[in-house]
Amino acid sequence: MRRVHIIVKGLVQGIGFRYFAERQAQFLGVVGWVRNNYSGEVELTAEGDDEVIAKFVEMMRKGPSHAQVQDVILNEREYIGEFNCFDIYPTE
């Protein structure tokens, strides 16, 4: 099992990126959360099987059709198993 923390930079707010992430997570069986940051980035924490997280990360690198992802900062974290679903959190 694997846990990642992701920061997505670029034109990633106001184009449905959080909902895209939620749909992809539900499709793949990933759990965790996504939110917009006041800095203009999208932040995510995701947990799941190694292969599934790898696919999820690749989807976040592309984003939805209107996104212009410029950079993705990926940090590996210790797997905790704390989530039951994938949620959209309020902007922080």
The C-alpha atoms of residue 69 and residue 87 are separated, in whole angstroms, by 21
Task: Give yes or no for a contact between 41 and 12, defined as CB atoms under 8 angstroms apart.
Answer: yes
List residues with catalytic annotation.
18, 36
- φ/ψ (deg, to 5) at 63: 70, 180
Residues 6+ apart with CB under 8 A from 58: none
